[in-house]
Amino acid sequence: MTLKPPVGVQRLPRGPDPNSRGFDRSSPRFIALCPTSIPSSASTDPDIEEEQRVRSELRERFLRTLLMMTDKPVQFNMYEKVQVPARFGASDIDILNFQVSDLETPLGVQKEALLRCQDVISCSFEL
């Protein structure tokens, strides 16, 4: 990625949420998005062990994918055909927010930014 001078942090007008535009963990929006329990078969089901084993394997693969994505240039494909490149930093445990650096937006390069995963359709990178 070519180095572009970053713009100052933009303070956008406050959105409908009373706090933090959707990042507030006690807001109804966050609680609705964040699963408090994961659906699974009944604990009496003989397949539960296999299900748990597969769940762990799938999750490990996903976490390793996120690890591979770290510090790499990633193209974020968002709603309304918005495509923004950025350097991937980290994700939270529930995959609700992505921390990125050098986010290239039409307003300029944001040095550090938090992307809401609900706004992201997909993201891609090369290995």
Partner 1 sequence: MKWRDMNPLEWREFINHEVCVTACDEQRFEGSVFTVDPVSASVVLVTFQETGRASVRVILGHAVRAVQILRSGSEEMERRMKGLILPDTTPSLCPEELQSRRENLRLWLERNRFPVTEDGQDLSVASVLTISAPYRPEDCSCTNEIILARVQSLVQNQPYRATTPDDIT
Rule CB under 8 A: is residue 25 a binding residue for partner 1? no
Nearest one of 80, 87, 126, 93 to 109, comparing CA atoms: 87
Please state the closest distance from residue 7 (CB atom) to partner 1, in A: 27
90 binds partner 1 (CB under 8 A): no
Determine if 40 is a binding residue for partner 1 (CB under 8 A).
yes
Q: Is 71 in the site for partner 1 (CB under 8 A)?
A: no
Residues 42-61 that bind partner 1 (CB under 8 A): 47, 50-51, 54-55, 58-59, 61
Those residues whose C-beta lies under 8 Å from the C-beta of residue 96, and which sit 6 or more positions away, are 30, 33, 34, 116, 117, 118
Whole-number Å distance between alpha carbons of 33 and 125: 26
Check binding of 65 to partner 1 (CB under 8 A). yes
